[in-house]
Amino acid sequence: MSERKHPDWIKVKAPTAPDYFRTRELLAALRLHTVCQEANCPNIGECFSHRTATFMLMGDVCTRNCPYCAVAHGKVRPLDPDEPRRIAEAVVRLELEHVVVTSVDRDDLGDGGAAHFAATARAIKQLSPGSRVEVLVPDFKGSYSSIDAVVEAPVAIFNHNVETVPSLYRKARPGGNYRRSLDVLAHAKEASHEFANCREAALLTKAGMMLGLGEERAEVDEVLRDLRSVGCDILTLGQYLRPSRDHLPVERYVTPDEFAELKVAALALGFRHVESGPLVRSSYHAWQQVN
């Protein structure tokens, strides 16, 4: 299959703003990884220019090999116990009011890295008490104790992406399980009530999907209903972009009008906030999604 040409609405300009380069230099100096860089995010210029980034915990190598994802997979390194402190330092130096922290999948760890997420959230709040922490977590293989460890930490938004429709999981997300992902979101919401006394505010849950992998509109609508059925508050919808010829091809480019229609439909289902557009990614404009 020949490579599809990106439509005009997908194209972005190369970053040139001074703050873009300052953010890159700071992250390099602190030896931090970001999903912005590792996953070839098209919004890196905009976000880095606003002195914000999505920090990626536990290295830059994933234990899973999802055929849509640009993050490297293979042999992983031991956890860096100083990483939470360095991320907290970056938060202070970037003056971030809203912090997004994600990770590679670490199925080699007994808790999937949950304790490391919690330690990072605590480190951020210690150095920057006014910052709001959003986590984008893996499925932890469905471990409730791992989910509890993250929810009990000082996080405001618990994000876990379903990524695509159930019929495409075998092709696009062979290491995942759609029902397990829904259960992760459901349990996070339920567990947050148990820890209500130690929380600053009610926990918001969030999920995202890529479109353009061959899903049907009726399947997308069903996923939106499923997400609302487990109390998901915030939704992100964006276009899948092929990282390389070794990854899954784009089956279709969803138009901006279609993304706008999906936003209307999702809001009608009761989502608190919906970010829907070709270049939307999980943490795109995340600081605006809880106001």
Q: Is the residue at 227 inside a domain?
A: yes
What predicted TM-score, i.e. pTM, was given to this entire model?
0.91
1-48 residue pLDDT tens: 455 677 888 877 766 777 778 878 888 888 888 866 765 666 666 666
Give the whole-angstrom CA distance, residue 190 versus residue 195: 9
Structure confidence at residue 21 (pLDDT): 80
Q: For residue 87, give the nearest of 136, 128, 49 by alpha carbon.
A: 128
**pLDDT surpasses 90 at 232:** yes
User: What does the block give as tokens for 136?
Assistant: 């984008």
Structure confidence at residue 1 (pLDDT): 46
Can you point out the beta strands (E) in the chain?
Answer: 33-34, 54-57, 61-62, 72-73, 98-103, 132-136, 157-159, 204-211, 234-239, 273-276
Q: Is the residue at 37 inside a domain?
A: yes
Structure confidence at residue 127 (pLDDT): 97
Domain of 205, CATH number, reads 3.20.20.70
Mean per-residue pLDDT, 214-238? 97
**pLDDT surpasses 70 at 278:** yes
Percent of the chain with pLDDT over 90: 63
Give the whole-angstrom CA distance, residue 285 versus residue 40: 17
Q: Is the residue at 81 inside a domain?
A: yes
**pLDDT surpasses 50 at 130:** yes
When divided into structural domains, the chain yields a total of: 1
Q: Is the residue at 11 inside a domain?
A: no
Q: Is the residue at 264 inside a domain?
A: yes
User: By the 8 A CB rule, do 238 and 285 touch?
Assistant: no
Q: Is the residue at 8 inside a domain?
A: no
Would you give the end-to-end CA distance of the chain in angstroms?
44
| Contact residues for 175 (Cβ-Cβ < 8 A; gap 6+) | 64, 65, 66, 105, 107
| Contact residues for 259 (Cβ-Cβ < 8 A; gap 6+) | 211, 237, 276, 277, 278, 280
Q: Is the residue at 162 inside a domain?
A: yes
Give the whole-angstrom CA distance, residue 188 versus residue 63: 23
Mean per-residue pLDDT, 250-277? 97
Q: For residue 289, give the nearest of 276, 269, 270, 274 by alpha carbon.
A: 274
Give the whole-angstrom CA distance, residue 76 versus residue 187: 28
Q: Is the residue at 1 inside a domain?
A: no
Dihedral sign of CA atoms 27, 113, 182, 40 in order? positive
Give the whole-angstrom CA distance, residue 43 versus residue 203: 27
Structure confidence at residue 289 (pLDDT): 66
Per the prediction, the chain carries an average pLDDT of: 89
Mean per-residue pLDDT, 229-245? 94
Mean per-residue pLDDT, 70-99? 91
Q: Domain range spanning residue 70?
A: 22-288
